[in-house]
Amino acid sequence: MMISNLGTKAEETFTKQQRWNDYPPEQHLSSSLLFARRMSHLREPASRAFLDGIAAVGLERDSLPDLEQLNGNLEPITGWRALPVKGFLPANAFFACLSVRRFPTTVTIRPLDSLDYVPEPDIFHDVFGHVPMHANSVFAEFLQRFGTVASRASTESETAAVTRLFWFTVEFGLIEEEGRKKVYGSGLISSHADCLNALGPNCAHEPFDLDRVIATDFRIRRPTAAAFRDSVSTIGLARGTFPRSRLHEDLLPTSNDRARMHARLQPVERVIEASFGTR
């Protein structure tokens, strides 16, 4: 399958096959333990969109996600597919994948002795944390549109702006449902510690505001044994240097879309200081 605007060479460079039958039993065990642990905590704090998505894509509790099987369920719903990749993609390639409804997904899983934290993304974060939301039609459209806009970022400040938007929504977004704050960001879905922190008293929430989001650095905290050491992003963004009107127009191009997105995304609140456990 060719990813049209990524290019054949790039696709060969970044993608790989998931050899599901080659996973040893202990890796399936890691996956099922993580799944059971998170689901035991997510029934209450998770967004309805995520909980519905888990059922829609048919994530299995007892084994590692089989991407072909998941895609067979997901693609007929929204056209999204999980795309197995070798590891981190450069930002422009990652965004290009999103623009064609392909979500780059690592296929390795954290070892049994490191279930709580791994520095690199793994299949649990990428699939359990991200993919269920792709079955939601509004989120699915937002993420594709985001990819289209983000893949056109050509300067450091534009890349910083779209990275912040991704961080405060797709990775660490909250949404208000029936008057209660719920999590839908993949970092909060996939990490118990981050979810507790985001909904706890130490995390400030603010109403979603696109201008403020793209002008706000995020902090990455790693739960080291010594203490939390903040690693503040050094990417600077002078307010006003990003062509905000373009971002707004491209993300919300029509009044219909704007109304629909407004209804669903305005209650989204962002986590000012999200801790960073499993990406």
> Does position 186 bind Fe ion by CB under 5 A?
yes
> Does position 106 bind Fe ion by CB under 5 A?
no
- 41 an active-site residue? no
User: Which residues have a Cβ under 8 Å from the Cβ of 75 and sit 6 or more positions away?
Assistant: 81
* Binding piece for Fe ion, criterion CB under 5 A, among 13-21, 99-107, 185-193, 266-274: 185-193
The count of chain residues that interact with Fe ion, using the rule CB under 5 A, is 1
**To 5 degrees, how large is the angle CA 82–CA 85–CA 87?**
125
> Does position 278 bind Fe ion by CB under 5 A?
no
Q: Select which of 11, 31, 130, 158 is catalytic.
A: 130
> Does position 169 bind Fe ion by CB under 5 A?
no
Q: Which residue, 131 or 149, has its beta carbon nearer to Fe ion?
A: 131
| Number of neighbours of residue 261 by Cβ within 10 angstroms | 18
- 205 an active-site residue? no
What token pair was written down for 245? 């009107």
What token pair was written down for 111? 């070892």
Q: Which residue, 169 or 186, has its beta carbon nearer to Fe ion?
A: 186
* Binding piece for Fe ion, criterion CB under 5 A, among 33-41, 74-82, 105-113, 183-191: 183-191
The Cα 245–Cα 166 span in angstroms is 18
> Does position 163 bind Fe ion by CB under 5 A?
no
The Cα 196–Cα 201 span in angstroms is 9
Residue 165 CB-half CA count within 13 A? 24
- 171 an active-site residue? yes
Q: How far is CA 88 from the centre of its chain?
A: 14
Q: Under rule CB under 5 A, which residues in 4-33 are in contact with Fe ion?
A: none
SS3 of residue 145 by DSSP: helix
- 125 an active-site residue? yes
Residues serving a catalytic function are: 125, 130, 171, 190
Residues that bind Fe ion (CB under 5 A): 186
